[in-house]
Amino acid sequence: MNDTAATAGVTNRGELSPLSVSAPSVSSSPAARDMLASESELRDWITLLKPRVLSLVVFTGLIGMVVAPGHLNPVLAFAAILSITVAAGAAGAINMWFDRDIDAMMHRTRNRPIPGGRIAPEAALGYGIFLAGASVMVMFLATNAAAAAVLAFSIGFYVFVYTMWLKRRTPQNIVIGGAAGAFPPVIGWAAVTGSIDLVPLLLFAIVFFWTPPHFWSLALYANADYRRAGVPMLPVVAGPRETRRQIVLYTLVLIPVTLAPWFIGFSGLVYAVSALALGGYFLACVWRVARDRQDADGTSLTNDRPARAAFKYSILYLFLLFGAFALDRIVGVVSLSQLIG
């Protein structure tokens, strides 16, 4: 025992007392190492918001605002986008609080802040509830009641319908629950117009039908994780072969849905051609998933390489599709104004 070592203490301001430290050469107790391991970092609080998912949420919400008829002050538009982002993050934090038991069982999620022991579950829940409430309030103050109501509904849908009800009960969890991720363009539209029209509902439908092929591609190669955690994802319940079939079927439904804005005359040729080309390539990707070399049980013999590629492309696909949708509107507005001018 080193003489310089002293009893550890924490002041009433939460600071470590200077007397509590020992010389660096002296190894600390396991409790000290536990204390260090359980001390959250700023990035843990950011991780709770699932930042990797947020980019798509922000982008689709932004496109909903860009294509909506009308004008929103840039400051209010920024507040609206921030609200959508924070609300999605808050829902993610509450999801991590609820799913902490299964997160601890899955390789992909076991180092998340709650199963990793760096953030207490009740702290994560409080954080999520506070951010959810604040985001709805800011949305209401900055825009209107319709946008705030849809935002609140989308948080509730993700937390209660997807996370608490469907996720552990049915392989249709991400089909129905996927609707939660389809709300941002509707919220963006409502923030500008104060109402919900056919066009935002079509954007909703696009994200809705895109979610199953996107998520099941991931589920195909994360199958073992979901099985271990007892989450009834489609590959766990119905097997990989049926999952591949469903991925193709949903993609076949998705492509005509993406063309609907053009059918109703809201979008022009720029969008229609882009939607067809992007959809065609997506179909080719999922077709490769269906034709993947597999054993008698349907397990991939290529380490699910086509499914990994399809998952990656599905993210790019949605970005490009919504980008083309906005571009088409901007090009359309420019040509119309040039014609009038």
Partner 1 sequence: MADMPDKIDREESAEIGRRRKLRNWGLLLALVAFSGLFYAVTIVKLMKPH
Q: Which CB sits closer to partner 1, 75 or 340?
A: 75
Q: If binding is defined by CB under 8 A, does position 104 make contact with partner 1? A: no
Buried b (16+ CB within 10 A) or exposed e, 151-178: bbebbebbbebbbeebbeeebebbbbbb
Which residues, other chains included, contact 120 with Cβ-Cβ below 8 Å and sequence gap of 6+? 114
Which CB, 22 or 172, lies closer to partner 1?
22
The site string for partner 1 over 17-46 (x = CB under 8 A, - otherwise) reads ---xxxxxxxxxx-xxxxxxxxxxxx--x-
> Long-range contacts: 329-336, Cβ < 8 Å, 24+?
329/66, 329/67, 329/267, 330/66, 331/268, 331/270, 332/267, 332/268, 332/270
Tokens of 341: 């001018």
Binding mask 136-165 for partner 1 (x = CB under 8 A): --x--xx-----------------------
Phi-psi region of 167 (alpha: psi -120 to 50; beta: other; left: phi over 0): alpha
Contact call for residue 5 and partner 1 (CB under 8 A): yes
Which residue lies nearer to partner 1 by CB, 21 or 331? 21
Nearer to partner 1, 76 or 238 (CB): 76
The dihedral built from the CA positions of residue 308, 54, 266 and 335, taken in this order, carries a sign that is: negative
Least distance to partner 1 from the beta carbon of 140, Å?
Answer: 11
Contact (Cβ atoms closer than 8 angstroms) between residue 61 and residue 182: no
State the minimum distance, in angstroms, from the CB of residue 16 to partner 1.
5
Whose tokens are 């922000």? That residue is 58
Give, as one character, the DSSP assignment of residue 164: I
Q: Toward partner 1, which CB reaches closer, 43 or 228?
A: 43
CB atoms within 10 A of CB 253: 13
166 token code pair? 């469907």
The interface with partner 1 within residues 111-140 (CB under 8 A) comprises: 117, 120, 134, 138
Is 42 or 339 the residue whose CB approaches partner 1 more closely? 42
Segment contacting partner 1 by CB under 8 A, of 16-24, 234-242, 274-282, 321-329 = 16-24
**Cβ atoms of residues 252 and 283 within 8 Å:** yes
- Minimal distance, residue 107 CB to partner 1, in Å: 24
Cβ-based nearer residue to partner 1, 118 or 214? 118
Q: Which residues bind partner 1 (CB under 8 A)?
A: 5, 7-8, 10, 14-16, 20-29, 31-42, 45, 73, 75-76, 79, 82, 117, 120, 134, 138, 141-142
